[in-house]
Structure formats: structure tokens, C-alpha cells
Structure 1
Amino acid sequence: MLRLAIWDMDGTIVDSRDVIQTAMTRAFEVQGLTPPPYDATRRIVGLGLRESCQILAPDDLGPERVDALVEAYRDAFIARRTDPDFREPLYDGAIETLQMLRDTGWLIAMATGKSRRGIRAIFEMHPLESYFDTIWCADDGPGKPHPFMVEQAMGALGAEPHQSLMIGDAIHDIHMGRAAGVRTLGVSWGFGAASELSAAGADEVHHTYATLAGSLGQFGQA
């Protein structure tokens, strides 16, 4: 049976909590604005960058200032990545789970709010690229929670919704997967709380890669 696992990246495979909050804080400071707390930042992860900045910015911030905030974030993100002590680790169990999927004949896709440049930076840091059969990101079309990326992943690999599932840590991943008609697996170790993922309609919520891998092993077996 054809099986397709569509993965989010930030907060699901890669622990990017530090770099995202640090870059957002710096961007707001550069623009003379009060930085958002982590609890606010975590809720926008997965959305497009401009939409994220617009949500976090004061309501009276005009379009030009929002554009400047976006550029400040990009600059801060790149600067953080060039720090000698920079580390954006994989979550324990991520590589092993991807390898298990590869060994058991799954197709594997990525649907991420990252840019192509951001994806490339992750691939240069970690040996992930060979696991993905198709990659869809913020540069390709409508972002989360629009179903575009999931639909494109399925179309590229010839999979139907009943053969596919979406794995992610944010409610935007769950909404995107549900809009595309696929099974949704939330993970609680990233940016979204388990209760939020459940309320968003996740079919399952996992707290460890071990239970996630076990569920993946059962998919399509009934």
C-alpha cells in the first residue's frame, strides 16, 4: 500500500525555539517595538513570515513598518545562524523515525513555513535531505493553514488523502491537514500545546517519537 508521511519542520523535526524567539525579539527591538513574549511567538510559528509579523505587531503599525519588521527578522535570523555557538538540534528520535519510514517503503514529504533558504540551512546542518521525496514551503504558494502544500505533496507523489497523513507541532499544521482531508498527527514537543492540538482536531497527539513511530507503523494496516 502506498503511504505518504507529510512533515512539518520547525518544532517537529528541528528544535528551533531558541533561534525563532531570539530573532523575533531582536527584530522588534531594532524597530523600537516591545518584543512579544515566547507564548505569543510560538502561536504564529508555521505561518508565513509577513503574516506572523503582522499578527505580533501593534495593530496601528502600517504596512511599511511591517515590511521593515519582516526584513529585521530575516537579518536577525541570519545573524543568529552565523554565531559560533549556534545550535539548532534535531529532536531525539527524528532521524530514526525518518529512517524507519524509508526502510518500510513510505513516501516522505515536507510542508513547512520555512523559505527554501531556511530549508537549505537545515540540510547543511543535518543529514535530512535524502529522506524527502518532495518539499513544499513558504516560497511555493499559499501558506498554512491553506491545504495547498499538502495537496501539492500528494499530487507530486501520486498519493490520495486516505493514504496520507500530516505530522506537525502547531495548530496550523492540523488545520492544513484537515483541510486537505488527511489524517493529522500532532506532536507536543514543539510550539503547540497538546490541548491546543486536540482542540484543533488532531486525530492523535504524541508526546514522544516512540509513540509516534508506533502509530506510523500501524497506519494502513487495518
Structure 2
Amino acid sequence: MIAEANVINLGAQRQSPLIYSTDPLRRSPTAMMLQAQKLMANVAEDALPVATSKFVGWTFSEKPETGTAISAVRVSWPANSYTATWSAQEKRWLLSHGDSANLAASGVRLGPTTFVIQLVSITDSIYRDKVGGVTPFSETIGTGKGFILRDGLAISANWSRPTGEQGTTWKTEAGDEIKFAAGQVWIALTDKTPIFTPVAIANNEDATPPSAK
């Protein structure tokens, strides 16, 4: 499949194991982490072509126009879960993997300014490992629902991606474009409705209340 695609295979079978490290904060088989700088050094040494990222259609704004104030959200899969907790001080969603803080090698807590939860159909793919484990397939072409989390708010959203050559657009239930916060954008593909921890706006110190339209 990879050989037939318009990409160059730089997978583990063709690279030195030195481009990978084991994250001590994760459990196998999700503990193997790619050392991107080492891989890109190999790419440069071999003078391989590198594609540039394409515009995906997202736009950004300073403040959202709608949303419900929340303090945290939990996103789950059969074998894993993530919790994102809003930090007003850092103005981003701080991530926890399972019950542990999700940390970079530097010790900095990982977390985006915009956290996208995209509800999709997840089925078995044609790929299996040697012990029978199945790689899931997430259907991201079509339409569906989800949530955009930014500025301490959860915005109920509809997503649309007509073809694989197009980006995914996000709109409110009323049909208005949802703009993201400047900074990192993380996307979680799941078929399970996330669990939100709401806050009372009057007593909330960690979320920005939605402005009236």
C-alpha cells in the first residue's frame, strides 16, 4: 500500500532504530516515539524531496462568539483516554494521558490552544500486526459532528470534508464558521461522545464566558 502511494517509505523497516526512543511515561505499544530531527537529517543526507504543508481552510480569531464554559473534557477510546483541562494562566488545554500528565521530554506539559474533537466512524482497517491486533480506520471524509474547544469554551460544531483533496471545515449549528485560537491545534478522532466537566460562569476563574451575538 505504501509502495503504491505517492510518498517515500521512511518507516521503521527502512530506518535505523536510532530514530526512535521509548517514552518512559507511556506503556507499550504506544511508547515508541519518533525522533523527527534525526529522521529529517537522514532525509537531507539522501536529498529526498519534502512536500510543504497545504492550507487546510482554518481561520483564526482572538475571541469566540459562542460556546459553553467548561473546566475539562475526557476523550476515550477502547484502550486509551485523554483529559484536557483548561488553564486560564497558560491559555491552553493541558493534556493528561490516562491519569498522568502528558509531558514532553523537556518536562513541559503538552497542550494546544485549540482542541478539536471530531466524531467519526471508526472501523477495522485491512492492517493487522503479527499477533492479530487490528489498526482502526477513521472515516474523515463526509460530514459529522464534533466540538471545538478554545478559550475555556466548548463549541458544538458540524464538520464537512467532501473529498480527500479538500480540508475539513467547521461550522456552528447555525451555519457560521468557527474560528480557532492562534497557536497549536490538536485533533482527536473518536466515535465516543466526550465527557465534559461544566463550570458555573459566575464562579468560573478558568474560562472566558461566551460573548453575546
Provide the TM-score with structure 1 as the length reference. 0.28
Higher gyration radius (CA): 2
Provide the TM-score with structure 2 as the length reference. 0.29
